[in-house]
Amino acid sequence: MRKFNFCAGPAALPQPVLEQAQRELLDWRGLGCSVMEVSHRSPEFVAVAERAEQDLRDLLRVPSNYKVLFLQGGATGQFSAVPWNLFGVGSKKADFIHTGHWAAKAIKETRRYGEAQIVASSEDRNFSYAPAADSWKPSRDAAYLHYTSNETIGGVEFDYVPEVDCPLVVDMSSTILSQPIAVEKFGVIYAGAQKNIGPSGIAVALVREDLLDRAMDNIPRSLSWKVAADAGSMDNTPPTFAWYLSGLVFQWLKTQGGVEAMEKQADIKSKMLYGFLDSSSFFSSPVEKGSRSRMNVPFVLADADLDKKFLEESEAAGLLSLKGHRSVGGMRASLYNAVPLEAVEALVVFMADFEARWG
């Protein structure tokens, strides 16, 4: 029996996708072997790669002057790739909006290659909100501005896209494909796959073409967006199974009504859970209203001594992976696209019952 899975990543995948992969595993397309066992340069796999790219372009309405790259090294690889690819021409300074754990990682990595100027931060209130658009100004000398559209651990999501004159770079790992986005507002969008895209092992970057010529001279080949773009993301052997499975997720998303439908679902699911948290006198959300993530919902129990019991009982009730990140504790329910509404309904029923018994 499949259980309801609230893991922050690697996260739940759509059941029809897993079933298709299972059906095709031993004999893919009549080739007598699996998709993992054919050359990435075979016409069959190249067709998979091209279809995945086209479907992603369709889903996000990616303009033709953007490259769609399928990369390795996760989103963490892109923490390094961004400065390597953008600090080669002109300024070696980048602006950052600091919103917590993942922004901090990007900042730290950038400082190995240049300057990271923090132009806005929510550190003053323990990273419990996203700085408002009118509360900060970009600097005048940045090669780009980087922000994290959703802090997966903190559960803080931006409800606006920053307006800047320099290229806008976003780590969209935990919100990509959960709503329509105006790609043309961004210079670079990147995301690790293992939330709304597919299994871990692959990352996606959408890069505006005019930014492909700004790399530092000695950029490692494996981090170069230009090399990846020129080689159709096949400069070396790509993670073929992750790419194939991501492609199946894109097809599934299209059958579900695309990112517009995902946005509606995310709204319904997250409102249901926040509504319960706000009505409860035992559970609460540490995130300020207005910045609450639709994808990752951290919450705490009034009595932390009951955390262990909560996790034991929720697991037993078929609700998986509700433990908060090790750096912050508490609980977290991740509500990505593949988490059905029934999962959130079951979670709320369980929490109400837990509160009645222990609260």
* DSSP character at residue 36: G
At closest approach, how far in Å is the CB of 302 from ligand PMP? 27
| The one catalytic residue among 171, 225, 243, 252 | 171
H runs (alpha helix) in 137-257: 225-230, 240-255
Q: Where are the beta strands (DSSP E) in the chain?
A: 4-5, 66-71, 93-98, 115-121, 144-148, 150-151, 156-157, 168-171, 188-192, 203-208, 283-284, 296-301, 319-320, 331-334
102 is in an annotated binding site: yes
Nearer to ligand PMP, 9 or 324 (CB): 9
Is 171 a residue of the active site? yes
Quickly count: other Cβ atoms within 10 Å of residue 242's Cβ.
21
At closest approach, how far in Å is the CB of 13 from ligand PMP? 16
How far the first Cα of the chain sits from its last, in Å, is 30
| The one catalytic residue among 55, 84, 195, 323 | 195
- Binding residues (CB under 6 A) for ligand PMP: these are 9, 74-76, 102, 148, 152, 171, 173-174, 192
| The one catalytic residue among 84, 102, 243, 252 | 102
- What is the helix (H) or strand (E) element at residue 344, kind and residue range? helix 341-358
Is 102 a residue of the active site? yes
* DSSP character at residue 304: G
125 is in an annotated binding site: no
194 is in an annotated binding site: yes
Instruction: Find out whether 130 and 158 touch, Cβ atoms under 8 Å.
Output: yes
104 is in an annotated binding site: no
At closest approach, how far in Å is the CB of 155 from ligand PMP? 11
Is 84 a residue of the active site? no
* DSSP character at residue 323: B
Nearer to ligand PMP, 173 or 240 (CB): 173
Identify the bridge partners of residue 298 per DSSP, sorted by sequence position: 332
At closest approach, how far in Å is the CB of 345 from ligand PMP? 25
Helices (H) and strands (E) in the chain, counts: 9, 14
d(CA 196, CA 13): 8
Instruction: Find out whether 330 and 301 touch, Cβ atoms under 8 Å.
Output: yes
Considering only CA atoms, which of 217, 196, 190, 211 is closest in space to residue 294? 196
Nearer to ligand PMP, 175 or 280 (CB): 175
d(CA 202, CA 76): 11
Residue 283: strand, helix, or coil: strand
Nearer to ligand PMP, 174 or 285 (CB): 174
* DSSP character at residue 45: H
224 is written with which tokens? 């170069």
At closest approach, how far in Å is the CB of 109 from ligand PMP? 11
At closest approach, how far in Å is the CB of 38 from ligand PMP? 26
Nearer to ligand PMP, 148 or 251 (CB): 148
Nearer to ligand PMP, 102 or 336 (CB): 102
Q: Which residues are annotated as a binding site for pyridoxal 5'-phosphate?
A: 75-76, 102, 152, 171, 194, 236-237
Catalytic residues: 102, 171, 195
Q: Which residues are annotated as a binding site for L-glutamate?
A: 41
